[in-house]
Structure 1
């Protein structure tokens, strides 16, 4: 049953790809929660009429976070790679190839962090009177993968028969930590093959 469903899906995608142009774009991205920038690419694969599957990938550049207080000094450098699949439905503008498409999707986010810093530790002095303190260093590398859900709206604004401007706004839901939900604003240029 699963094999037949998969084959039907591949057949529908193949028919859609054969009969229509495939928009491919290179994009710049801004993520609100982390306040970082990334570069990415997406392909819109027509499946049936206005329905499109959109695989995408974005690399968010390294960002540095610092936390300093009287007792802790930390430095975190983090970069992430997001990869996902969205389902779009295109509403074409009258007498135009340009369209607006609401979408839903799922995305994986893999982050690589380097953590370093120092903290002050306290202990009772050897004489029993007073408290001794000393600074200790720590550090290490961390890799983490998270699953996100996406909801948003995109627009493809054709300049001629092939070239277009890509715009997109999405709200990403971080299922493991709802405080990490964020918007991603995207703008780019593309070509329809």
Structure 2
């Protein structure tokens, strides 16, 4: 959790530094991971580089999952680049690619085995697509799907809202 909070703080700091950029976006989202089979929350940003290309850092935290005596937590940090194939007043469609870091932690406690915990971090690649559905100038609901390739393979489906910061 400390690492998640530190990562979230770094994302916010990056966003503050980049506020001077045109069409800078920041937002929040709900996510679902098929491997962990849990929903979570996340924060995202878009920082323009050139026409149709943005850097898109984001983080996601999956709600803890408990099965019997085992509790499982997971979060991810992503550094993506989005390329907008379509970006107009009614639709923004983009492809995404980037790096992923996934951190998982398991705790168990029972009378037979005892108690213990373990954690692991994995690096992977993101490949996916997304779409923005602009409502007005500054309010952009969006949906996104990506596959994380690596030791922590999973499909991640997300939806949320981004806000233009001019």
TM range (shorter): 0.7 to 0.9
Aligned residue for 1:111?
104
8 Å CA contact retained: 1:58, 1:81? yes
Aligned residue for 1:62?
64
Aligned residue for 2:46?
44
1:153 aligns with 2:129: yes
Aligned pair partner of 1:96 in 89, 92, 102: 89
Unaligned runs of 5+ in 2: 1-17
Q: Please report how far the alpha carbon of residue 144 of structure 1 lies from its aligned counterpart in structure 2 after TM superposition.
A: 1.2
What's the TM-score once normalised by structure 2's chain length? 0.81
Range 146-155 or range 95-104, more displaced: 95-104
Aligned residue for 1:192?
164
Aligned residue for 1:173?
149
For residues 161 and 54 of structure 2, the distance between their equivalents in structure 1, rounded to whole angstroms, comes to: 18
Q: Please report how far the alpha carbon of residue 169 of structure 1 lies from its aligned counterpart in structure 2 after TM superposition.
A: 0.4
8 Å CA contact retained: 1:17, 1:46? no
For residues 41 and 170 of structure 1, the distance between their equivalents in structure 2, rounded to whole angstroms, comes to: 15
Q: Please report how far the alpha carbon of residue 137 of structure 1 lies from its aligned counterpart in structure 2 after TM superposition.
A: 2.5
Aligned residue for 1:183?
155
For residues 27 and 73 of structure 2, the distance between their equivalents in structure 1, rounded to whole angstroms, comes to: 22
- 1:34 is paired with a residue whose SS is coil
Aligned pair partner of 1:83 in 77, 89, 105: 77
8 Å CA contact retained: 1:25, 1:166? no
Unaligned runs of 5+ in 1: 1-15, 67-74, 119-135
Larger radius of gyration: 1
What's the TM-score once normalised by structure 1's chain length? 0.71
8 Å CA contact retained: 2:21, 2:47? no
For residues 49 and 17 of structure 1, the distance between their equivalents in structure 2, rounded to whole angstroms, comes to: 17
Aligned residue for 1:163?
139
